[in-house]
């Protein structure tokens, strides 16, 4: 993970026990999200992917599926990722239904400025997002019913 272009990583354990690490990544004008998969608890990475199409280029967070309490044995358990676009606007919440391979579920939570966020699993399958807005002058909190968001895709 040592790189002068990757920073602010988030970590989640996947349904099969692998670890997903996702730092923001910037190289010159290229910005996006880096996804690293580890089979050995983060000692090494068996797969590395750069996703320029993911709008989360600023500081972001990942929430592990087991914390969300959705689904049960044999059901899809989502991984949630949230963060702003490169210019620290357009805060977007995304969900993966296949352990971080694709991110087909998304909702823009705030079109304005957004930075420095935290995700939390709430009772009933909701996700809470606490973030700075209005160029760091205010804190905002939003609740998202993840099951309803996934069902509406």
- Give pLDDT tens digits for 44-63: 988 888 777 676 655 666 66
Q: How far is CA 92 from CA 54, 71, 132, 144, in A?
A: 10, 23, 14, 11
What's residue 38's pLDDT? 93
Task: Supply the pLDDT for residue 133.
Answer: 93
For the ranges 2-16, 40-54, 105-119, the one whose mean pLDDT is highest: 105-119
Q: Where are the beta strands (DSSP E) in 39-88?
A: 47-51, 61-63, 79-83
Domain limits, the chain: 6-151
Rounded to an integer, the average pLDDT of 96-113 is: 89
Q: What is the pLDDT of residue 88?
A: 84
- Mean pLDDT value across residues 65-78: 59
Phi, psi of 11 (to 5 degrees): -130, 140
DSSP state of 93: E
Q: Kindly report the average pLDDT of the chain as a whole number.
A: 79
CATH architecture of 6-151: 6 Propeller (2.120)
Mark out the alpha helices in the chain (DSSP H runs).
65-68, 146-151
The pLDDT of residue 20:
86
């Amino acid at each position: 993970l040592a790189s002068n272009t990757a920073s602010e990583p988030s970590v989640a354990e996947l349904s099969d026990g692998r670890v997903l690490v996702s730092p923001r990544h910037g190289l010159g004008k290229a910005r996006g999200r880096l996804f690293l998969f580890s089979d050995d608890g983060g000692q090494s990475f068996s797969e590395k992917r750069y996703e320029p199409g993911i709008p989360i280029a600023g500081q972001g967070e990942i929430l592990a599926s087991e914390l969300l309490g959705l689904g049960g044995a044999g059901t899809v358990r989502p991984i949630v990722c949230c963060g702003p676009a490169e210019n620290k606007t357009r805060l977007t919440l995304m969900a993966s239904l296949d352990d971080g391979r694709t991110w087909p579920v998304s909702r823009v939570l705030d079109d304005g400025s957004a930075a420095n966020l935290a995700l939390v699993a709430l009772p009933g399958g909701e996700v809470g997002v606490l973030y700075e807005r209005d160029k760091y002058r205010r804190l905002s909190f939003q609740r998202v019913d993840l099951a309803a968001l996934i069902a509406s895709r």
